[in-house]
Amino acid sequence: MADNVRTGPRPHILNTDGRPHTLENAMAIFVLVAGLISFVLGLIVRNAHTSPAAHIIATATGLAAFLVGLYAQMVSSTRNQRVVIVAGMIAGFVGLAIGLSKGGFTP
């Protein structure tokens, strides 16, 4: 039973291979956060009368999440990174699509 107890520092949740991937983790977290911001803003834009700035922000963050997510998916190292990236890309794409349907980059 003693061999099941882990000693030492716990690995980062995205570094399941035991090696540090600082840049890949930062990109994965950026994609997730930007995608969620775009998704939430897209839902707000869809359901309320908002200023054109909200449309532009939803569209821009969705586009950034999607494009950075495509690159991050190519250079990702672990499965957990890929799961986070895909979740952020999907949320960003939905926010981008809703932002574009309500005017996109035009005020």
Q: Is residue 41 part of a domain?
A: yes
The pLDDT value given to residue 26: 95
CB of 52 closer than 8 Å to CB of 107: yes
Q: pLDDT tens-digit profile of 73-104? A: 999 999 999 999 999 999 999 999 999 998 88
Q: Is residue 97 part of a domain?
A: yes
Q: Is residue 59 part of a domain?
A: yes
Q: Is residue 105 part of a domain?
A: yes
Q: Is residue 102 part of a domain?
A: yes
Q: Is residue 1 part of a domain?
A: no
Two tokens, residue 89 = 């890309």
Does 6 score more than 90 pLDDT?
Answer: no
More confident position, 95 or 14: 95
Q: Is residue 104 part of a domain?
A: yes
Q: Is residue 17 part of a domain?
A: no
Q: Domain count for the chain, please give it.
A: 1
Domain residues for 103?
A: 34-45+52-107
